[in-house]
Amino acid sequence: MKNLMERIAVESMAEYHRLIKDVKMWQWYREVTPIDHIGQLPIASRPVSRSSAGKIEFEDLRAIPWVFSWTQTRYNVPGWYGTGTAIKKILEEDSENLKRLQDMWSEWSFFQTVIENLQLELARARMEIAEAYDHLSSLSFHSMIADEYLRTRDAVLSITGFNDLLDNHTAIQHTIKLRNPYTDTLNLIQADLLKRWQIVTEEDSGAMRHAIFMSINGIASAMQSTG
């Protein structure tokens, strides 16, 4: 059990690093997420970046604003990315590994917690809405992320035997589905505001910044998460 768990950890981390260490990722991330605006919010005990130079760079970014920005866009990447590729590799190596992973899900509380967390992050993600943010950049990582999302979702469902994510937590499942239409609207408004910010005049920047702050607060409340 522990050997398979270690393999999942190593392989998923390698795939996660392949995404975030792509030379174009940081530019795309800054263009499609509200990270620069989150850095201006007066809500944190510490600045979003460890650097005192003022400009936010990936190497200096703190964990909470990193996760917060992914949550705002409904990608939720840090909560699940890479796991699908890792499990797919393990299943391709030995068909008996699916049964082993299913047994781990049934018998090992630690692995159950891992899968439960994956379920929640996958269920809260929303690829069709996240794609609206991807259009804010001339670069694109959406297909890469969306493909990994499907791999990870399918892997989780094959291990749990469920028809849908969170079938064992129907109250949470229902709450997410109930909130989605309202949260989706906030996301589309925010994506439009971020697009307008790219061409905003200095005269209008104050009002536009305030509107973006409001959208960040609204989505954080709807997602019940700030990272």
Q: What pLDDT, on a 0 to 100 scale, did the predictor assign at position 62?
A: 82
Q: What pLDDT, on a 0 to 100 scale, did the predictor assign at position 9?
A: 96
Query: Which pair of structure tokens corresponds to residue 63?
Result: 């964990």
In the chain, the percentage of residues whose pLDDT exceeds 90 is 84
Q: What pLDDT, on a 0 to 100 scale, did the predictor assign at position 137?
A: 98
Tens digit of each residue's pLDDT (9 = 90 or more) over 7-42:
999 999 999 999 999 999 999 999 999 999 987 876
Tens digit of each residue's pLDDT (9 = 90 or more) over 75-104:
999 999 999 999 999 999 998 999 999 999
Q: What pLDDT, on a 0 to 100 scale, did the predictor assign at position 46?
A: 55
pLDDT category of residue 49 using cuts at 50, 70 and 90: low
DSSP assignment letter at 58: G
* Residue 53 scores a pLDDT above 90: no
* Residue 209 scores a pLDDT above 70: yes
Write the secondary structure of 135-153 as one string of H (helix), E (strand) and C (coil). CCCCCCCHHHHHHHHHHHH
Q: What pLDDT, on a 0 to 100 scale, did the predictor assign at position 96?
A: 95
Number of neighbours of residue 203 by Cβ within 10 angstroms = 7
In the chain, the percentage of residues whose pLDDT exceeds 70 is 93
Largest CA distance in the chain: 64
Contact 80, 125 (CB under 8 A): yes
* Residue 163 scores a pLDDT above 90: yes
**Domain coordinates of the chain in residue numbers?**
2-223
